[in-house]
Amino acid sequence: MKVSRTIGIGLTVALLALGAAVPSFAGGWAVVTLDSLPQGVTPGTAFTIGFTVRQHGVTLLSDLDPAPRVEAENVETGDVVRSTASADSGRGHYTAGLTLPTSGEWTWGIQAFGGQVQAMPSIVVRGAPSLSADATGGPASAALGLLSAVLAVLGIGLAFRRRFVISATAILLAAIVAGVSIGSNASSSTMAEASPPVARDQGAALFVAKGCIVCHTNTDVPESESISISIGPDLSRYSNDPVFLARWLAGPASVRPTAMMPDLGLKADEIDALIAFLNGEGDA
């Protein structure tokens, strides 16, 4: 009798413990996939964040209650901004408006359900761009422009005094200096346009933003070691043929029908950046 009573008490305690644990795991875990990385955020300007929520990284979750929440914190000032997302017409898709009031680096994340907060790449908020020496070609270009104007005025003045040879020389020099100044500006502009973004850095950010970090680890993204539940392979030393990776990232099921990884709706440039990141191309 005593043994049976002890076993009965033990089973009751176990069932109570299981019952208490079930709510905390209800819904399992989610993967949040950001539509796109926020760009050009300025202080006090509202912008919209769009994202998709998938249960266990696969099943789209619509009309979550409570709704997903976005929280951001300024690393330097400690300012905190929160926003509640709302479901839109897309299945499992949500949007949230956010306004970051101050400049600086903001760390942020999205809480889809339960106590899980999925970290997102930091947002660097900068003040509105202003006209600067760089925008006008720099101090050297400004000096050349001023010299060209002085020579032109001098040449015209000498022409009125009938010193035509010197006048012609001054005007010719003004034209030459002006040409050098314009060429310098054009060269600077071309170099700025020709400088591509570091694809691998963007790929590392997308590895976080698209939710890859929840299922995979990668030592080039240090936070993955604490965030990832590691149900997918460790991608720290992974690389593959870019053509294969492009097909896989564009639609895993088209490559392997039994693939658990969902189609994340990646854009072509996002796929290129992720391939550069996974294959270790360029500087991280």
pLDDT, one tens digit per residue, over 152-171 is 666 576 566 666 567 667 56
CATH architecture of structural domain 199-278: Orthogonal Bundle (1.10)
C-alpha span between 52 and 60 (Å, rounded): 7
Fold of the CATH domain 30-125 = Immunoglobulin-like (2.60.40)
Helices (H), the chain: 2-25, 138-160, 164-194, 199-209, 212-215, 224-227, 242-250, 252-255, 268-278
Q: What does the block give as tokens for 180?
A: 């050098």
Q: How far is CA 126 from the centre of its chain?
A: 15
> Is there a cis peptide before residue 66, judged by omega within 30 degrees of 0?
yes
Q: What is the dihedral of CA 90, 94, 100, 106, to 10 degrees?
A: -110
Three-state SS at 242: helix
pLDDT for the residue 105: 97
Q: So where are the chain's domains?
A: 30-125, 138-194, 199-278
pLDDT string in tens for the chain (284-residue length): 443 443 343 433 333 333 333 333 345 788 999 999 999 999 999 999 999 999 988 999 998 999 999 999 999 999 999 999 999 877 899 999 999 999 999 999 999 987 788 999 999 999 865 544 444 455 666 676 677 676 566 657 656 666 656 766 756 775 775 666 565 555 544 444 444 456 889 999 999 999 999 999 999 998 887 788 889 999 999 999 999 999 999 999 999 999 989 999 999 999 999 999 999 864 44
Let me know if the fold of 30-125 is the same as that of 199-278.
no
Do 174 and 151 meet the contact criterion of CB atoms below 8 Å apart?
Answer: yes
Percent of the chain with pLDDT over 70: 67
pLDDT digits (tens, 9 = 90+) for 174-221: 577 566 656 555 554 444 444 445 688 999 999 999 999 999 999 999
Q: What angle do CA 203, 208, 209 make, to 5 degrees?
A: 90
Quick one: DSSP state of residue 129? P
